[in-house]
């Protein structure tokens, strides 16, 4: 029996095949890293472009705001109410159409809300025709209690309010945010009279706005209701 002799050519071919296979695997591995690096660089380039765009936009708006231009993203905006001015008139509140014609010159306190629907029509049921009218917010219980709470919290500084009693709550149905169904902005008009002289009438405007607040010193932040109260005896 002859001894088995290994072929030199066969061995060489085997090592060559292993080398080629190893070299092919290394190339596949390198290609994955190249694709990853390319994607990472593209992501960095896109992020840089977005940052530059945001910075330029912020700078542009800052210059315009400093120059007096109105920023449409500001939360402090102008909201219109077109009906109340006709009911209040040009003179004293006591001689206005609201008091003389609608209330019949009777300033006895009412336990309901008067809704101004048009220049000739009022209602005590609500703002008819507004699909987003919120009966819970624009109800007598909510609005009258809100007014009393605001007056109670500030009357020690504004002594005039301590002498006034609520006659009736008036809602202007043409208020822009009421028509839009925006519950974050509320505006109502409170007809009040002096406790010492019932012929002395005022119109107290109450505006409520939902805002975000932040107290960095106390590490507090969140939603809050900002209330603004304006008192007038003559036309607004």
72 pLDDT tier (thresholds 50, 70, 90) = low
Dist CA 140 CA 131 (whole Å): 20
- The CA–CA distances, whole Å, from 118 to 51, 123, 171, 203 equal 51, 10, 11, 19
DSSP secondary structure of 38-69: HHHHHHHHHHHHHHHHHHHHHHHHHHHHHTTP
Min mean pLDDT across 28-42, 78-92, 216-230 is at 28-42
Least confident piece of the model among 52-61, 97-106, 114-123, 150-159:
52-61
Quickly state the pLDDT bin for 29 (edges 50, 70, 90).
Answer: low
What is the spatial distance between Cα 56 and Cα 52, in angstroms, rounded to a whole number? 6
Q: Is 151 exposed, middle or buried (0-12, 13-18, 19+ CB in 10 A)?
A: buried
Q: Is 143 in contact with 111 (CB distance < 8 Å)?
A: no
- What DSSP line would sit under 162-192, residue for residue? HTEEEEEEEEETT-HHHHHT-TTEEEEEEEE
Pairwise pLDDT comparison (83 vs 19), residue with the higher score: 83
- The helix or strand, by DSSP H or E, that contains position 9, with its residue range, turns out to be helix 8-66
**Which pLDDT belongs to residue 26?**
56
* Per-chain mean pLDDT for the chain: 80
At 219, give phi and psi (nearest 5°). Answer: 55, 45
The answer, as to whether pTM is greater than 0.85, is: no
How do 164-172 and 122-123 pair as beta strands?
unpaired
Residues in contact with 108: Cβ distance below 8 Å, sequence separation at least 6, in sequence order: 167
Quick one: what percent of the chain has pLDDT higher than 90? Answer: 34
Q: Sketch the domain layout of the chain as residue ranges.
A: 29-69, 82-232
Main-chain phi, psi angles of 172, to 5 degrees: -90, 110
| Residue pair 169/113 in contact by the 8 Å Cβ criterion | yes
Q: pLDDT category, 158, cuts 50, 70, 90?
A: confident
Residue 121: pLDDT band with limits 50, 70, 90: very high
pLDDT of residue 109: 95
CA dihedral 45, 51, 56, 57 (to 10 degrees): 120
């Amino acid at each position: 029996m002859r001894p088995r002799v290994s072929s030199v050519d066969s061995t060489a071919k085997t090592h060559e095949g292993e080398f080629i296979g190893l070299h092919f695997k290394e190339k596949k591995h390198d290609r994955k890293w190249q694709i990853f690096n390319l994607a990472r660089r593209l992501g960095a380039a896109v992020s840089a472009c977005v940052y530059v765009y945001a910075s330029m936009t912020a700078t542009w708006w800052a210059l315009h705001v400093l120059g007096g231009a109105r920023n449409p993203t500001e939360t402090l905006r102008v909201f219109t109410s077109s009906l109340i001015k006709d009911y209040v008139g040009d003179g004293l509140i006591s001689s206005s159409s609201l008091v003389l014609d609608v209330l019949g010159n009777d300033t006895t306190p009412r336990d309901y809300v008067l809704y101004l629907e048009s220049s000739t029509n009022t209602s005590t049921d609500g703002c008819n025709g507004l699909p987003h009218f919120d009966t819970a917010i624009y109800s007598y219980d909510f609005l009258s209690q809100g007014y009393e709470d605001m007056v109670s919290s500030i009357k020690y500084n504004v002594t005039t309010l301590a002498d006034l009693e609520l006659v009736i709550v008036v809602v202007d149905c043409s208020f822009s945010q009421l028509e839009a169904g925006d519950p974050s902005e509320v505006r109502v008009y409170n007809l009040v009279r002096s406790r010492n002289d019932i012929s002395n009438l005022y119109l107290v405007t109450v505006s409520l706005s939902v805002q975000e607040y932040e107290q960095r010193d106390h590490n507090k932040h969140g939603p809050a209701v900002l209330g603004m109260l304006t008192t007038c005896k003559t036309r607004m």
